[in-house]
C-alpha cells in the first residue's frame, strides 16, 4: 500500500523514462538492498558510464543503488567481477517486474497513454537488457554491434526481417567464427522461431444496435502463432528469473 500510494502521488501524464526509473527505484521494496563498506565508490564508477544522470545522487542510498543497477542491466555492464553487486542486481530484477505492473495499473486508471507506453517499454527493457532506443535486433542471441551494423546497411529492422532472410543472406550477416558456430546458429534460429507472432482481432459487440452515449462491449482476441507445441518461458538469457509471456491491450 505504501508503494502504490507513492506511485499515485509521484506519477503524472508527463512522466517519461527517467522519471519512471527514479520513481520505481524509490519503492519501499528496495530499502533492504544493502550498501557495503566502500561500495559507494564502485557505484559512482559504474554511474559515470551510464546514460541517465540524477541530480546530486547519494551512492550510500539503496534507492540510488537500485537505479544504478537497473541502468547497468540495460547497458549490459559486466558485473561478473563484482559478485556482490551482481547478486544485488538479481534481487532488484526479481522485484521490479511486479512493481512495473503496479505502475501500469496506476497510470491506466488515470488514462495517461504515453506514460503507460513508457512503463510497458521499461518492462521489456528489464527482461531483455536493452534500452528503449536500442535496435530490437539486439535481443537476438550473439548479435553484436557488427551484426546490427550489417542489418542496418541492408534495411533489416525487425526480428521478423531476419527470419525471412535466405540462408546465404543470413550467413553473410552473421559471419561467425568456426568455434561453436553450429550451436550459435541453432540458438539464433530457436529465438527467431519462438519470437511472438500475434494476430489481433477486435470488434464492437452488437455494433449496429448501439446509439450515441450508450455503453458497448469491445471484444478483443489475441492469437499467438506457435512454431513449437510448448512455447515455455520467454527467451531472456540476461534476465535471471523465469518470465512467462504477457501482453497489455491498449485502446
Residues 97-126 have pLDDT tens digits of 999 999 999 999 999 999 999 999 999 999
Nearest to 163 by CA among 125, 137, 144: 137
Spatial distance between the Cα atoms of 32 and 63, rounded to a whole number of angstroms: 9
Averaged pLDDT for residues 19-26 = 98
- Asked if residue 228 has pLDDT above 70, the reply is no
The answer on pLDDT for 229 being more than 70 is no
| Confidence bin at 225 (pLDDT 50/70/90) | confident
Residue 167 has pLDDT above 90, yes or no: no
Give the confidence band of 224 by pLDDT, cuts at 50, 70, 90: confident
Q: What is the mean pLDDT of residues 148-170?
A: 90
CB 30 within 8 A of CB 92: yes
What is the pLDDT, as a whole number, of residue 149? 93
Task: Name all domains of the chain by residue range, CATH numbers in brackets.
Answer: 2-128 (1.10.3380.10), 136-194 (1.10.150.20)
Report the share of the chain in percent with pLDDT over 70.
Answer: 97
Summarised one tens digit per residue, pLDDT across range 195-217 is 888 899 999 999 988 999 899 99
pLDDT at 81 over 80: yes
Report the pLDDT averaged over residues 211-238.
84
Q: In angstroms, rounded to a whole number, what is the distance separating the alpha carbons of residues 202 and 205?
A: 9
Query: What cell numbers appear for 39 in the block?
Result: 561500495
pLDDT score of 230: 66
Distance, in Å, from the CA atom of 86 to the CA atom of 81, rounded to the nearest integer, reads 8
- Cα separation, 34 vs 176, in Å, equals 41
The top-scoring range by mean pLDDT among 4-18, 189-203, 228-242 is 4-18
Which one is predicted more confidently, 237 or 85?
A: 85
Q: What is the DSSP string of the chain?
A: -HHHHHHHHH--TT--HHHHHHHHHTSGGGTTS---TTHHHHHHHHHHHSSS--SS--TT-HHHHHHHHHHHHHTT---TT-HHHHHHHHHHHHHHHHHHHHHHHHHHHHT-HHHHHHHHHHHHHHHHT--TTS-GGGGSTT--HHHHHHHHHTT--SHHHHHTS-HHHHHHHH---STTHHHHHHHHHHHHHHS--EEEEEEETTGGG--TT----EEEEEEE--SSS---S---TTS-S----------
- The whole-angstrom separation of Cα 64 and Cα 87 is 16
Amino acid at each position: 500500500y505504501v508503494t502504490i500510494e507513492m506511485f499515485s502521488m509521484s506519477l503524472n501524464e508527463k512522466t517519461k523514462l527517467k522519471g519512471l526509473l527514479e520513481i520505481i527505484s524509490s519503492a519501499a521494496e528496495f530499502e533492504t538492498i544493502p550498501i557495503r563498506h566502500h561500495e559507494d565508490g564502485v557505484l559512482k564508477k559504474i554511474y559515470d558510464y551510464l546514460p541517465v544522470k540524477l541530480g546530486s545522487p547519494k551512492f550510500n542510498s539503496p534507492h540510488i543503488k537500485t537505479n544504478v543497477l537497473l541502468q547497468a542491466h540495460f547497458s549490459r555492464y559486466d558485473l561478473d567481477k563484482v559478485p556482490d553487486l551482481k547478486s544485488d542486481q538479481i534481487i532488484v530484477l526479481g522485484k521490479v517486474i511486479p512493481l512495473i505492473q503496479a505502475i501500469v495499473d496506476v497510470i491506466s486508471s488515470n488514462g495517461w497513454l504515453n506514460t503507460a507506453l513508457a512503463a510497458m517499454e521499461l518492462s521489456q527493457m528489464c527482461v531483455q537488457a536493452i534500452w528503449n532506443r536500442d535496435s530490437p535486433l539486439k535481443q537476438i542471441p550473439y548479435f553484436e554491434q557488427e551484426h546490427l551494423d550489417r542489418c542496418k546497411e541492408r534495411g533489416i529492422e525487425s526480428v521478423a526481417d531476419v527470419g525471412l532472410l535466405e540462408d546465404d543472406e543470413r550467413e553473410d550477416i552473421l559471419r561467425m567464427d568456426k568455434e561453436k558456430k553450429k550451436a550459435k546458429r541453432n540458438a539464433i534460429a530457436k529465438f527467431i522461431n519462438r519470437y511472438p507472432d500475434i494476430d489481433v482481432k477486435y470488434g464492437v459487440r452488437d455494433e449496429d444496435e448501439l446509439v450515441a452515449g450508450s455503453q458497448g462491449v469491445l471484444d478483443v482476441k489475441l492469437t499467438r502463432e506457435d512454431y513449437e507445441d510448448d512455447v515455455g518461458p520467454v527467451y531472456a538469457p540476461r534476465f535471471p528469473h523465469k518470465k512467462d509471456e504477457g501482453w497489455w491491450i491498449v485502446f
